[in-house]
Structure 1
Amino acid sequence: MGRNTRKRRTPLAAKAVAGVAALALGGGGLIWANFYASAHEDGGHNRTKSRGAQQVATIDCPDVGQQLRDVPDRARGEVDGELASMDQQITDAYQRLVTTRRAQAGDGQFVQNSILGPLKDRRKVLIDRIKLEINRAGGKAGNDLDRLAGCTGRPADGQQGGGQNGGGQNDGGQDQGQDGGQDGGQDQGDGQDQDDNGNGVAGPVAEDFIDINDVQPGSRDLQNGLAANGDGGSTGTFTTECGTNENNIFNSDNLIAAPGVDNGAHHVHDYVGNQDNDAFSSDEDLANADTSCQNQGDKSTYYWPVLRLQDGTQEFDANDQGGGAEGNIGKILKPAQAELRFAGSKQGDVVAMPKFLRIITGDAKAFVNGNGNANTSWSCTGFEDRQVTDKYPLCPQGSQVVRTTNFQSCWDGQNIDSANHRDHMAFVNADGTCSNGFQAIPQLQVRLVYDIPTPVIENGQVRNPYAVDSFPEQLHKPITDHNDFINVMDDDLMNQVVGCINSGEDCK
């Protein structure tokens, strides 16, 4: 059931985009527009403005990956690659959107005719390939996938809700398109905000932040229907200590959703635990790797998108794909604390996780997908009875920013992954039970604590904001935060984890 290393994908269009970026900025990153601010207004540096613009601000595409169910194992590598290509197409179309503002102002049909129409045609080609690959491998791909080819433009003022596109995360990136970003940043137009180094900033904006004092206590139950310790259940815990990425392992790959694809996430991840976790790592690589965990039996990989302070800092990836070249700019903030805990079920014992089980929680595309799979909570130390999912908290002096994620804890009992990387896992019901024959496994709970200077909001602008890395078209919205895990504990340690939880002990 393990995965094999897949052939490295080196998309030509991705190289072309990087070349365009170099031409546009003399070797610097792509220019990404902020549609809330004007380059002609005072105080534009290190600021984003709250005024919502009426122009099309981003691209909303149905998440094809979340609609896939019947994908034979031998077709998954190719299908994941095609899905990654779709993500690159969206990135390229978004770049073209933000570098053709003058043309859009002069032609009300420019976005549809020059961006969305061609994007639909290119997506249809990839959907046809996906259907062919599924059918060749003995699966059955329905023609209803064709309806997912078209994308729409949408303003950035306000979030789409309801998860109408199926929700979910499908990080990936490879391009099949030919004309994404042809303008090369030469037609910037208005509505552009830049940091002190001339990099464009596509969010966050003032409306993405909230004073933690304005969040009502109990506003979001941290368990949210998830497994929790309780009477009659498995009340123990197991904490694994794996550090805070002291070895500075960062990349913009996604081994779960885009295996074998360079820059599959289009944003940078922080890694703790396993020290060999790029897109080309096989299960054997993971099993043989070093680990940052104190318990050397835990070679699991734990990863999440980095937080950045948009203060004009030129990070190591300032000109790279996944970093500054895709709008992820500023100083990378590693957590001051990274607490990784496994908890039990309030309805009974838990069973062992299978080795190499993959779990994605949260949704990297929630700004356009809707909040159906959004899961991370934001808060501040000393205020953790106040949780919010769609805002970044403004913490008082002396208080730290907290990101908390509780993973799905019901497993189908058979698969370490699924076609859409979600169906093999589920959240518990409101009463703590698992449905449809699923089994309760230890629930991973991740709590990350950060020392972040509190942004200042003045006159509808936020100065030096912090934000989670994201796909470019997701505009760094907090709702897009997500977390990933691959279990690589040895059998002895996993049995110890299960034993501690089921016996009511708190172990490390």
Structure 2
Amino acid sequence: MGRNTRKRRTPLATKAIAASAALALGGGGLVWANFHASAHESNRAETRAGTTGARIATISCPDVGERLRKVPRRARNGVARELANLDKQITEAYARLASTRQAQEGDPAFVQNAILGPLKSKRTATIDRIGINVRRAGGYTPRWLGKLAECKGMGGDEVTEGDGQTPPESEQPSAEPGQGGDGGGGGQVGDNGNGAAGPFADDFVDITTVEPNTPPSNGNGFAANGDSGSQGSFTTVCGVNENNKFNTDNLIVAPGVDNGAHHLHDYVGNQGNDAFASDQDLADADTSCQNQADRSTYYWPVIRVQDGTQEFDAGELGGGLEGNVGRVVKASQAEIRFVGSKQGDVVAMPKFLRIITGAANAFTNGDANANAAWSCTGFEDRQLRDKYPICPQGSQVVRTANFQSCWDGQNIDSANHRDHVAFVQEDGSCPEGFQAIPQLQVRLVYDVPAPTIENGQIRAPFAVDGFPEQLHKPITDHNDFINVMDEDLMNRVVECINSGEDCE
């Protein structure tokens, strides 16, 4: 499979990271020693508190970007580059964690002394530079920001509580206890048979064993929009990435940073999206959407089947060098539509509005911003938040993302890329100071073979791409959007929704 990306110069720092990451690699993926996770040990309390030796499955670091509420606009690019450095540092530390299992077994202090301690030093320097960027632009950083430098080791079944926006029940699927899990994925950590760090058997559930947990859909797999308010919809048809538009950038979170996402994205719509694209670049770019007035960019992490395939990026950062291995599978269907508000009319989205839904670090940083929804065709009244579904024969895997649908009326982005938009409240209304905008809903359908589980080992699993330390957990799924519709088309979207029409 090829890819369509802009060629960029590889900086020396990136090459150094590749060399560091390669120490932990073999056969295209992260190599894990065969050690047992805390879920299978008798002393869970000791394991959850422990941070040494082979008990450590991954690394958890505080999310600095989430805590940055006020960053002057002229400091944001510099801050974004430093936040990307923090992600890069965690990736490097995780590669070292994965490549030194034997040393960890022989020295209980190895993880702290050789991995977490040096990581803290690097993060301290980077956070200091963030403060300098902010203060030079006339802003203020709290004294406690430096306390976010320290990271910890996590057992395979741990997940911390975070803070942020959680979709209300009306905008997120629910999961019955034991059928959506606890965010930790069960904790079985080790080589799953194909040399990759996750997913594991406990990350999957047979969808036929899950009880229905969501209201009926409107018949096409999307959440129903209620019986009041603005009941129309607008569907945009943009394909399933037939143009092979892939890259490991993230223009929203890490503008100007090569490989800022550390995992591969599918792109539909705008064909000019990479880390170096300006708003004007996006406005001038081609689009895969049938309606050429929609140059919006819709992107999400790819799904891979870990079947031993050496993909085009097997030897690259963001791909095999960072644990994202196997055959990339495009969606067989990518349904994108905008719907209204249960409480009344919607207003137009501003051009270049950016929205991220879900959290790529939800496994290690808590699920407060998580918005993953996994299911199977024919079973979409059963949504899973932190499990992958095993679908019966004839059924396909479904990923659904319902975006935030309230806007602060002023900003197209915010310092942490979240505060300028919000989910509706439980009654369907927007928080005070916010106004309803068309809600973007993305439904992706995949024809992937059902994995098999033998003796607690998952064989040929599918998984979403992600940061390597997230262990390919399903709860880390996320979706991104930048509105690049022209004004006339956006006005038509609003008119269709508010008048109750279903338009394309």
Same fold (TM over 0.5): yes
> 1:471-497 CA distances to partner (integer Å, 9 max, x unpaired)?
000000000000000000001100000
How far residue 33 of structure 1 moved from its aligned partner, in angstroms, is 2.3
> 1:146-183 CA distances to partner (integer Å, 9 max, x unpaired)?
11110000111x2414226x589xxxxxxxxxxxxxxx
Residue 316 of structure 1: aligned partner: 312
Residue 128 of structure 1: aligned partner: 128
How far residue 191 of structure 1 moved from its aligned partner, in angstroms, is 4.8
Distance in 1 (alpha carbons) for counterparts of 2:456 and 2:338: 41
Residue 182 of structure 2: aligned partner: none
In the TM superposition, 1:27-106 aligns within 5 A as 29=28, 31-33=30-32, 55-106=55-106
Residue 162 of structure 1: aligned partner: 161
Residue 493 of structure 1: aligned partner: 489
Distance in 2 (alpha carbons) for counterparts of 1:221 and 1:480: 25
In the TM superposition, 1:322-337 aligns within 5 A as 322-337=318-333
Question: What is the one-letter code of the residue matched to 2:127?
Answer: I
SS at match of 1:492: helix
> 1:372-425 CA distances to partner (integer Å, 9 max, x unpaired)?
111121000000000011000000000000000100000000000000000000
Residue 473 of structure 1: aligned partner: 469
1:407 to 403, 406, 417: 403
Distance in 2 (alpha carbons) for counterparts of 1:219 and 1:203: 28
Given that residues 297 and 493 in structure 1 are in contact (C-alpha distance below 8 angstroms), is that contact kept between their aligned partners in structure 2?
yes
Residue 272 of structure 2: aligned partner: 276
1:208 to 195, 203, 206: 203
SS at match of 1:272: strand
SS at match of 1:126: helix
Work out the percentage of aligned pairs sharing the same amino acid.
68
The answer to which of 50-59 and 248-257 deviates more is: 50-59
SS at match of 2:291: coil
Given that residues 23 and 99 in structure 2 are in contact (C-alpha distance below 8 angstroms), is that contact kept between their aligned partners in structure 1?
no
SS at match of 2:268: strand
SS at match of 1:396: coil
Given that residues 32 and 95 in structure 1 are in contact (C-alpha distance below 8 angstroms), is that contact kept between their aligned partners in structure 2?
no
Given that residues 167 and 365 in structure 1 are in contact (C-alpha distance below 8 angstroms), is that contact kept between their aligned partners in structure 2?
no
TM-score by length of 2: 0.87
Residue 151 of structure 1: aligned partner: 151
Does residue 254 (structure 1) correspond to residue 250 (structure 2)? The answer is: yes
Distance in 2 (alpha carbons) for counterparts of 1:222 and 1:138: 49
TM-score by length of 1: 0.86
Question: What is the one-letter code of the residue matched to 2:111?
Answer: V
In the TM superposition, 1:164-313 aligns within 5 A as 191-192=190-191, 195=194, 200-218=195-213, 229-313=225-309
Given that residues 227 and 345 in structure 1 are in contact (C-alpha distance below 8 angstroms), is that contact kept between their aligned partners in structure 2?
no
How far residue 35 of structure 1 moved from its aligned partner, in angstroms, is 6.0
Question: What is the one-letter code of the residue matched to 2:12?
Answer: L
Structure 2, unaligned runs of 5 or more: 1-7, 42-46, 48-53, 167-188
User: In structure 2, do the counterparts of structure 1 residues 9 and 222 end up closer, same or farther at CA, with 3 Å as the change threshold?
Assistant: farther
> 1:272-311 CA distances to partner (integer Å, 9 max, x unpaired)?
0000111001101100000000000000000000000000
Given that residues 235 and 343 in structure 1 are in contact (C-alpha distance below 8 angstroms), is that contact kept between their aligned partners in structure 2?
yes
Residue 368 of structure 2: aligned partner: 372
**RMSD after superposition:** 2.4
Residue 355 of structure 2: aligned partner: 359
Question: What is the one-letter code of the residue matched to 2:162?
Answer: G
Given that residues 268 and 305 in structure 1 are in contact (C-alpha distance below 8 angstroms), is that contact kept between their aligned partners in structure 2?
yes
SS at match of 1:404: strand
Distance in 2 (alpha carbons) for counterparts of 1:201 and 1:367: 17
Question: What is the one-letter code of the residue matched to 1:117?
Answer: G
Distance in 1 (alpha carbons) for counterparts of 2:223 and 2:453: 38
How far residue 57 of structure 1 moved from its aligned partner, in angstroms, is 0.8
SS at match of 2:414: coil
SS at match of 2:334: strand
Given that residues 9 and 262 in structure 1 are in contact (C-alpha distance below 8 angstroms), is that contact kept between their aligned partners in structure 2?
no
Distance in 2 (alpha carbons) for counterparts of 1:32 and 1:142: 40
1:389 to 385, 392, 413: 385
> 1:319-348 CA distances to partner (integer Å, 9 max, x unpaired)?
000000100000001000000010000000
Does residue 339 (structure 1) correspond to residue 335 (structure 2)? The answer is: yes
SS at match of 1:85: helix
How far residue 437 of structure 1 moved from its aligned partner, in angstroms, is 1.0
Runs (4 or more) in structure 1 with deviation over 2 Å come to 8-14, 19-26, 28-38, 49-54, 190-195, 219-223, 226-232
Instruction: Kindly tell me the number of residue pairs found equivalent between the two proteins.
Output: 461
How far residue 229 of structure 1 moved from its aligned partner, in angstroms, is 2.4
Distance in 2 (alpha carbons) for counterparts of 1:474 and 1:24: 16
User: In structure 2, do the counterparts of structure 1 residues 254 and 67 end up closer, same or farther at CA, with 3 Å as the change threshold?
Assistant: same
Structure 1, unaligned runs of 5 or more: 1-7, 39-48, 169-189
User: In structure 2, do the counterparts of structure 1 residues 309 and 473 end up closer, same or farther at CA, with 3 Å as the change threshold?
Assistant: same
Distance in 2 (alpha carbons) for counterparts of 1:167 and 1:426: 7
Given that residues 271 and 285 in structure 2 are in contact (C-alpha distance below 8 angstroms), is that contact kept between their aligned partners in structure 1?
yes
SS at match of 1:314: coil
Distance in 1 (alpha carbons) for counterparts of 2:35 and 2:387: 17
Given that residues 227 and 432 in structure 1 are in contact (C-alpha distance below 8 angstroms), is that contact kept between their aligned partners in structure 2?
no
Question: What is the one-letter code of the residue matched to 2:280?
Answer: E
Given that residues 205 and 388 in structure 2 are in contact (C-alpha distance below 8 angstroms), is that contact kept between their aligned partners in structure 1?
yes
SS at match of 2:30: coil
How far residue 222 of structure 1 moved from its aligned partner, in angstroms, is 8.2
How far residue 22 of structure 1 moved from its aligned partner, in angstroms, is 5.6
Distance in 2 (alpha carbons) for counterparts of 1:452 and 1:364: 22
The answer to which of 214-223 and 338-347 deviates more is: 214-223
